[in-house]
Amino acid sequence: MKKIVSLLLVFLLLATVLPSLAEDSPAVDPCGLRGWDLQAGYQYVIMGYYPYEEDGTKAPVLWQVLGIEDGKALLFSTYIIDVHQPVEVSDRKTAENKKYREIMDYGETDLNVWLNEVMIQDLLADEPVFAAVTEEKYGRLYPLTDDEMMTEAFGFTSERYWKQPSRWAYATPYTLNKKLYPEVKGYFNKVQKDSTLGTSSYWVAAVKYPDKPARYLQLCAGVRDTVGHLSYGFLARTTVGLRVALRLDTSKIQVVSGSGTIWDPCRLGYVENRVVETPPVRPQPTPVATTPAPVKDRPTPIPPEAVTTPVPTPDWMGN
């Protein structure tokens, strides 16, 4: 009888403790990925290969998992990895006078076409998990939308204006050094970088006036006093970078290595017929993240890992 009572007490204790442990732990998809969590922060993934150094030398690309919905994992590049105009305009006067074509939706931009026909091939063509990237409203590769940039479940603040550290981002050396039209002097400049924080601006998939033709696309400010503020820039602007997103079918991927921290990101394999195809071994070493400088006025209760990312340096290529 005493043994039965003891067992019942053990079961009651487990029934009390286990639910609380589950509530404190982020939900993990069977593939091994999880979305942003208040306590654990982001889970990080290394996927794809893209120019990183000033001279275009490539390195693995770091992503953070924002969330998992309807069997899809939403990944967002941790850094600003390139630059491209929403509407391609190489003529200086046309750009300055805003005589380029207007748009009603982000999907009408030249940027959307370039991301899904050019950049995605350079970024992911050699990755086994490329086949798991799903087709969404704007294709397979795109900037986040206005709503997504204010989704608290993704680790962002729901505040639109003023300084918002949860949306800060840093551009890679390649991005900062790139000039879209090097042959044109006096107007087209490189991606801007804040002199104090080191952050840069990046595009968001939302037009300024959705009910009429627009010459402006939304951006997340990265310079001066409103870093993280959702503002707008004209469509031919060349000083705003690209922080891109995609969704992966979680039934077709599996974490094959890595703990998921920013210093030990996960690597993914493609699942087909229950066999996991692992990513290829790269000749260059995996980048090692550097510790970011302290951020003043960080909002609470979001933890530091959720609102800051390491400042990229050439040391990422290893020694």
Residue 272 within a domain: yes
Residue 251 within a domain: yes
On whether the CB atoms of residues 213 and 104 are closer than 8 A, the answer is yes
Would you state the pLDDT for residue 85?
94
Would you state the pLDDT for residue 273?
62
Would you state the pLDDT for residue 175?
94
How many independent structural domains does the chain possess?
1
Tell me the average confidence (pLDDT) per consecutive run of 10 residues in the chain, 319 residues long. Answer: 40 36 67 91 93 91 94 96 92 80 92 96 92 96 95 90 88 92 79 88 90 89 86 91 97 93 91 69 50 40 40 38
On whether the CB atoms of residues 124 and 47 are closer than 8 A, the answer is yes
Write out the residue range of the structural domain in which residue 127 sits: 29-309
Would you state the pLDDT for residue 18?
37
Task: Measure the CA–CA gap between 243 and 131, rounded to whole angstroms.
Answer: 21
Residue 15 within a domain: no
Residue 89 within a domain: yes
Alpha carbon 90 to chain centroid, angstroms: 28
Residue 208 within a domain: yes
Residue 7 within a domain: no
- CA atoms 73, 76, 78, 81: torsion sign: positive
Residue 297 within a domain: yes
Q: What is the pTM assigned to this prediction?
A: 0.81
